[in-house]
Structure 1
Amino acid sequence: MPATRKKFAACDPCRAAKVACDHARPVCIRCQNQSRQAECVYRASPFKKTKRAPEKSTTPATPGLMSSHTPGRRQSFAANGRTPVLGGDAVAPKPHRYPNPGYLGSFSSTTLFGNLPDGRDPVLGDADGHAVNSDNPVREANVTRGAGLIKQIEATVSIESCCSLILAWTARGSSLPLAGPFLDHCIGTMRQLFPNQGQTAVASTELSRSLFYHTSRPVDMASSTTLHDFQAQFGHQRCRWETFGFFFTAASRAAIEMSKFDSAREYRDLQRLGMNLSDLSLDIALSLDCLNDLQLVLQYENWILHSFVDGDQSYHSWKRLGDVISSIYALGLHQQSNNDHNSLPPFLLELRRLTFALAYSADKNVSIFLGRPPRIHLKYCKLILPRSDRAVEPWRTTWPQDMPFDYVADIRWGALCGILKEDIMELFSLEGINDGHPKVREIYDKAHAQWQALPPHFRLESSLKQCNQAPIVRDFILNARLNQLHILFLLRMAVARSRPESDGELVSIAAEILTLIVEALMQKDYLVNSNTSLVWKVAYYGLSAAGVISLWLLHESSKTQPHPNVDTSKVFQSLSVLVLEMETGVLIETDDPNYKLLVDASKTIGCLLSRLILGRVTPPQSGEAVVGAMTAAGSMAAKSPSAAMMETHDVAAAQGGWNAWDGQTLHDFESDFWLNLAEHPFLAGGGGNDL
């Protein structure tokens, strides 16, 4: 027999560079020429294969939300031909040193050095890290963790019941603003993965490995890719963790909406459980460091869900919105181009524009609501609106007159309003802002032109009750009008500064906002939550309007002439309805995340109404009695305390250094504003405890 050819191993530098080695000892010729004698080392047993022990997980299989059980009977997930059976080392593409650098702008060091000539020695091969040997990013411990989560889902959630709940929710016109088109696909996939839940269990380990494998793969995209091709990459036999995230996000959102019509306890538990499962699915997908459009959409939907379940003041909600914005920057969605359609399919281009527009308007609204700086600034971005093909100019944006008022139209309008709100927020940091300031007039003209450019059936010019549209469309139209009025409200706040009650135009706008909010409360059964909930509308628009109205009522009677455009009796009626809805548990319950904010405001407003109507006046701190009481209870709703009484309290407030905002952001109407308002000398003594 011919002698077996002896194999020689390459030294470490040649092996890493994937180049030929002459195997010379002690140093090969290539390492001598490169002055790498110290690195030229040969392995002792280069061709001996060793078996690695499976990696032990030091953490539980799943961060247990609820106890899970292991079903006794098992069903092979691969037996039905839905996915290939993958080995432990075949669950991710080839790793490299910088797996996900994301969008790199013109000032990044990578971009700068990338423009320099390539001076690398071709003998050494590619040194960008692609040949660096590293551990597989998907470890058996992660597969075990995913299997534990799948077992938990089997034990705690009825997939079929969730599917029925989501379908009932979407039948009312509601949906996820971005992932809505994917829901039918996700429902079909989950039904296929859990066909006989409670009778025959899936092979959780094989399913987990398949999910990790497909989640770690990039989403293939070309200009000819269709929506069907796109959905095929995260459904059925190619299911990903993002699919699980979309499904449980929709289930939780549906439970929030449907809980108002069915048994509350079961649906409330599903709200929290669905959110936790959505969180876990998102965390697993993000942990693989392969950020893509699917994960960004899931991040946004997950943030909206947290704002519903945790509340708009929650740090968890605030942080998750920041995560959405970080991913937008990492993917480069803030630098949109008119030429993107040459390389991207139309549906994906539209999805990206919708995502950025939603995040941009949400950033402005949440920043205003919480009194915090915004995190997206348009001067660093290029914004192209959905259903548009050029960079946005708000006051020149045209609308097709036959456009339906749907989620896309609502998102377009929200982004346009966000642009003007960003301009107004900059005014709050400037001094000398008045009606004659050119920026004030410019913003006002743009807001007016922007509103007039809307199709007539988008504009709410009369009572909400007279709007004969489907519930979801009524909510869109209500959003549009409130957004428009809020721009004018903020603009007047920037002009009036710390004395908003003295600005007649601001008071008139606040009264109109308050009337709309009360109408929405009275007709809530004929509205369907779209991008925002009714509670958010009350907290964001309603409380700011009620705050200005309350300040105005404290000072209104000191004027000899009533406000020409504000009906005081109607204002009293609107405030009374607002307080009643908040305090009787009709709008919110005690475990609602926004309960404290709304109750603090309702107590202060209720105390104000009680003192104004019934004439219960607290003596000043000096001990001197204040003369002046109401004469007839039936006419009190149209009158205020006497001018002399109010002037006394104005003096006391000025001498005590009282300020409605106490140095806080002037457009912030959160709990601190209402607690501070309760300390006004006119309300001091009883505070918010009189009711």
Structure 2
Amino acid sequence: MDHQPGGQVIQLQQTSQTLIGKYRRNRKLQSCEPCRKSKLACDHSVPCGRCIKRRCVDKCFYHPNPLTCNRQTTSPTVPAPSDSPSYSFGGSHRLVQSIEPPHGPKFGRPVRFSCREAPAVHRASSAPPLHHAHGHGVVHSEKQSFLGSTSVTSMLTEDLEKLGVPSMDLQTFSAQSVAISYDRITKGCEVLAFLKNNMMVNQFIDCFYGAWEGDVAFCIEPIMKMWLMELWRFHGDVLKSQNPDKIRQLCELIWRNTQSPLIYDGKTSPKQWILLSTGANVRWDVIGLMACYVATAAAAGDSSKRLLAEYQITREAVMSSMVDIAANCLTFCRECEILDDTFLWLAAEYYGFISFVKGDISSTVYRAGAELCSTFLAMGLHQDIRANAKVPPFLAQLRKQVRMVTYSTEISVSAFLGRPPRLSYRYINLDTGYDFTNAEILAEESEFAANVSKLLEGGFNSDGRAGAITFWKVWIPFAILREQILELALGNLCSGRADEIQQKAKEQWADVPAAYARCRDEELHVGAKKTGLTLYGHIIRQSTQANEFLLQRVRFQKAGASAEGLIKVAQQIFKDIIRISEDPELTKISSINTNHMVAIHGLRCAAVLAVELLRQEQLPVYPREPLLPRSQTIQDLSVFVSRLDLILKVEVLHGVFSMCEQGRKVLTRILDKILSPPNAADRPCQSCHTGGYQHAHSQSALDNFQDGMVPSDGGDYLGHTSFMFMDDFNLAIDAPYFGPDHDFRQ
């Protein structure tokens, strides 16, 4: 919108949609055949708005006429790129000022996008109709949300096909288009400013796929690399120069593309599908995914230090700017109301990153998770996903991977926070798909089918390879068990149900590949050469043990069971966490994953052990065989507290700061309570030691230790040896030891 001096707001003419470009002899634009035969006004676009409204897009065409002169348009020369490729994250105020529209009537002329690399391409049948000066219009598009068997729409159309009545012509789906105002153009230009230095963006994204092993991303590496290549090929010069007019026109093009749903079918190849979202078809969700991966790469720790130093930018500046850009892109897509796979990927990556930065307890993270789950359900990904006439095989596989990660993440976060989950295995088809590499996913249809035939039972690869997809396939059945444990924790406990969950967990290990099955019982070696199997092996070991920990805690809290089972599991997990935290080789693979295992799995086990140790210390009579060995537990807790101190110094782990800080304070207070000597008022008076038996007892003890431990300089033996009289030290007396000495004296 143009803000005139008088305060009047004028809507821009938005004519980015491709016109037919064919003129009649009277210099009027040619009309499509349906409009010409009906003698109705046509907007001369492909397809025209009237044909879209009448749902006859397939009949909208322009009859060739040899007398028509094709009007050729020339693209203006693109300004030379800027010499300086550097860009400071977080600052685009100068760019925003440079695109302020001049006051005057000339700004009201139509805005047409032109670029040296982008040829004139006719839009597909999904293109929105031309927006005129008055703004909003309605564009009919494909079905954009899932409607189940209990919906009214399903009741209106079910079984009509069997009765010979086509139902598609009877359905009405509409999406409200968005008027591209000046405010939206301005915000879009701010977002595009970070793409000025394409070399830096490429390097950070390479760093992301290297540091995070690539295949853990929702958008796999080959797709992102092709998106980047086509983006720079079509719009690289415009993005480098940041010419205000060109950037504004590019921004408008991206808005138009984002309002159009992706059109594909079961025969669409991976390359064709990728090109639907880049180059001349670039969209805001793709730009947002790039920003998310740049931010995640900056947070990757050591792997991004070189890039940060090379471009003289700080980690905080990159992360803050990229989060804002990703949030803006998510808002743009949300306003366009188009639900597709790329929007779901953006919602998932944004949710994952802000939970990493702010922590799962943040209200912002909670809302982002709600949007992810809502989008997941609205796209119908909870139902059976199959390759068919509408969905190509590679896209079905990608959707199954997204479903695995989305469901398991929601269950894990729900158990961590102790709240009901938004997604449930009861209403989701959790087919885990195939254990493929990125190259195998994007293979051609014939090769894809051949790769499927090589897989083992359950869809696991036959090469013995252990990657992220293998891990998720192994974990999904255990994630279902965690949801069942959460049901017991939030509802009414049934002891038979708890036993059933334990039995299912034992049976589930029989279906796990041998490489992961060994992780349950064998200790993973520390200090040896590490591979992806070692990292994922640690994660699956800790995650499955966490299920048993939570189940034992539910039994202890609700059924009054003994704490022995809970303490035993906590000891085993805590022992593994201490070993993981001391493994420098494993930290090199992924320090962030290692620190999160320490902060989450280690902290809750440490809390249980510390509280039990404190309770054990306060017993009136100290047990002969305590649940926790006092010395070893205190040593392990002290090591763990020092590890928490190191985590608190890692600047990128903002999300666990408050949790680690609280845990460090609680554990330190408990250790102080256990190790600190009693106050002077609580010490027994000296007269208590003057009794004949106790005096002889003390003197005998001193005599026994004098030769080897007490200096023979004639000094005060008691003063030099008082440090030995600890509450739990029985001086090698053969008599039964019933507890601390002061308890015995009392």
Regarding TM over 0.5, the answer is: yes
Q: CA deviation at 1:219?
A: 1.8
Structure-1 separation of matches of 2:40 and 2:227: 51
Once the 2 structures are TM-superposed, how far is the Cα of residue 151 of structure 1 from its aligned partner? 4.4
User: Does the alignment pair 1:229 with 2:272?
Assistant: yes
Aligned residue number for residue 229 of structure 2 = 188
Q: Which of 661, 666, 673 matches 1:604?
A: 666
1:167 and 2:206 correspond: yes
1:15-48 deviation line (CA, Å, top 9, x unaligned): 99979xxxxxxxxxxxxxxxxxxxxxxxxxxxxx
User: CA separation in 1, counterparts of 2:673 and 2:356?
Assistant: 35
- CA shift in 2, pair 1:152/1:408, >3 Å: closer
The structural deviation recorded for 1:348 is: 1.0
More divergent stretch after superposition (295-304 vs 467-476): 467-476
Contact 1:186 1:246 in 2 (8 A): no
Contact 2:196–2:241 under 8 Å retained in 1? no
Q: Is the 8 A contact 1:151 1:204 kept in 2?
A: no
Residue 248 of structure 2 is aligned to residue 205 of structure 1: yes
Please give the secondary structure, in 2, of the residue aligned with 1:593.
helix
Q: Is the 8 A contact 1:214 1:240 kept in 2?
A: yes
Alpha-carbon RMSD: 4.4
Change in CA separation of 1:177 and 1:336 when aligned onto 2, cut-off 3 Å: same
Partner of residue 693, structure 2: none
Q: Per-residue CA shift, 1:474-515, capped at 9, x if unaligned?
A: 322221111110111111112111699942221121122222
Match of 1:304 among 332, 352, 377: 352
CA separation of 1:117 and 1:405: change in aligned 2, threshold 3 A:
closer
**Cα deviation 1:66-105 (Å, max 9, x = unaligned):** 52426979xx973323254899xx9625834787551000
Letter in 1 for 2:507: A
Q: Any residues of structure 2 matched to 1:276-675 within 5 Å, and which?
A: 276-337=324-385, 340-341=387-388, 343-387=390-434, 399=460, 402-431=463-492, 433=494, 437-458=495-516, 459-460=518-519, 461-466=521-526, 468=528, 470=530, 472-497=532-557, 502-523=562-583, 526-527=586-587, 533-557=593-617, 558=619, 560-562=623-625, 567-584=629-646, 588-589=650-651, 592-616=654-678, 643=739
Task: Report the counterpart of residue 156 of structure 2 in structure 1.
Answer: 113
Identity among equivalent pairs (%): 19
Closer/same/farther in 2, CA of residues 632 and 370 from structure 1, 3 Å limit: farther
Matches of 2:576 and 2:433, distance apart in 1: 28
State the 1:645 CA deviation: 9.9
In structure 2, do the counterparts of structure 1 residues 341 and 478 end up closer, same or farther at CA, with 3 Å as the change threshold?
farther
Change (3 A) 1:617 1:568: same
How far the C-alpha of 1:248 sits from its partner, in A, is 0.7
- Quote the Cα distance in structure 2 between the aligned partners of 1:488 and 1:210: 53
- State whether residues 398 and 453 of structure 1, in contact with CA within 8 Å, keep that contact through their aligned partners in structure 2: no
1:79 aligns with 2:115: yes
Matching residue's letter, 1:497: Q
Distance verdict in 2 for CA 1:250–1:16, change over 3 Å: closer
Q: CA deviation at 1:352?
A: 1.1
1:616 Cα deviation from its structure 2 partner: 4.8
Deviates more, 1:448-457 or 1:538-547: 448-457
- Is 1:67 aligned to residue 93 of structure 2? yes
Aligned to 1:217, the other structure's residue is in SS state coil
After superposition, the Cα gap between the structure-2 partners of 1:67 and 1:8, relative to the gap in structure 1 and judged at 3 Å, is closer
- SS class of match (1:225): coil
**Deviation at residue 213 of structure 1 after TM alignment:** 2.3
Letter in 1 for 2:326: S
2:262 and 2:340 in contact (8 A); partners too:
yes
| Structure 1 residue 606 displacement after superposition | 1.0
Structure 1 residues 305 and 632: alpha-carbon distance in aligned structure 2, compared to 1, 3 A threshold: same
Residue 273 (str. 1) matches residue 335 (str. 2):
no
**SS where residue 465 of structure 2 aligns?**
coil
Residue of structure 2 equivalent to 1:60: none
Match of 2:24 in 1: none
CA distance in 2, matches of 1:646, 1:418: 49
Structure 1 residue matching 2:577: 3-state secondary structure: helix
- 1:215 aligned to 2:215? no
Kindly state the Cα deviation for residue 246 of structure 1 after the two structures are TM-superposed: 1.3
Distance 2:51 2:524 in 1: 74
Cα deviation 1:308-341 (Å, max 9, x = unaligned):
122221111111111111111111110115x545
Contact 2:208 2:300 in 1 (8 A): yes
Q: CA, structure 1 residues 187+575, in 2 after alignment: closer, same or farther (shift >3 Å)? A: farther
Larger mean Cα displacement after TM superposition, 548-557 or 319-328: 548-557
Give the aligned length. 563
Judge conservation of contact 1:353–1:384 (CA < 8 Å) in 2. yes
> 1:99·1:290 contact (CA, 8 Å) conserved in 2?
no
Q: 1:313 to 1:524 in 2, by over 3 A?
A: farther
Distance across 2 between alignment mates of 1:348 and 1:161: 30
How many Å apart are 1:186 and its aligned residue?
3.1
Shift of 1:642: 8.4
Distance in 2, matches of 1:183 and 1:457, equals 31
Separation of aligned partners in 1, 2:209 and 2:290 = 13
Q: CA deviation at 1:183?
A: 2.4
Structure with larger Rg = 2
TM-score for both structures, normalised by structure 2:
0.66
Using the alignment, how far apart are the partners of 2:51 and 2:195 within structure 1? 51
Over 3 Å counting, the alpha-carbon distance change for 1:386 and 1:205 in structure 2 is: same
**Larger CA deviation: 548-557 vs 475-484:** 548-557
TM-score by length of 1: 0.71
Separation (CA, whole Å) in 2 of partners of 1:376 and 1:502: 32
CA contact (8 A) 2:466 2:532 kept: no
Q: Is the 8 A contact 2:128 2:260 kept in 1?
A: yes
Residues 376-425 of structure 1: CA distance to partner in whole angstroms, max 9, x if unpaired? 12112222113289xxxxxx968556442211112223322210011111
Note closer, same or farther for the CA distance 1:492–1:572 as it changes in structure 2 (3 Å cut): same
Tell me if structure 2 keeps the 8 A contact 1:148–1:204: no
| Secondary structure at the counterpart of residue 594 of structure 1 | helix
Q: Check the 8 A contact 2:327/2:350 in 1, yes or no.
A: yes
